[in-house]
Amino acid sequence: MFVPMNRILFATGSVGVAGLLSGCSCIQEIGRAYFPAWLLSILIGWVLTGVVRLILIKVGIDGWIRPRSIGYPSLIVFFTLLIYLIFFTN
């Protein structure tokens, strides 16, 4: 049975990429308790979004964010990924 070369290359590349992406998880110790880095990043992203919202309300720009149900969760995701990228990736 003949298998096309591009399928073999795709399968080999997929296994190689999966091997490179499987790293150890980042665990942070806070008060003698271990927290996963992603959980810590989410909490920090949530707090930063709250601070940005207060600043936007104080400046008067909060009314321009439409729809808010997409804007603020997007800010949470942005800050979460930024914190994880800056502090927890090697």
| Domains of the chain: total | 1
| Domain of residue 53, residue span | 25-87
Q: What does the alpha-carbon distance between residue 81 and residue 86 come to, in Å, rounded to a whole number?
A: 9
Average pLDDT over residues 67-80: 94
Q: What does the alpha-carbon distance between residue 47 and residue 62 come to, in Å, rounded to a whole number?
A: 17
Q: For the segment 2-55, what is each residue's pLDDT rounded down to a tens digit?
A: 556 667 676 676 666 655 555 555 676 767 677 788 888 999 999 999 999 999
2 domain-assigned: no
Q: Evaluate whether 41 touches 88 at the Cβ level (below 8 Å).
A: yes
Q: What is the pLDDT of residue 89?
A: 79
pTM over 0.75? The answer is no
19 domain-assigned: no
Give Cβ neighbours of residue 35 (< 8 Å, ≥ 6 apart): 27, 28, 29
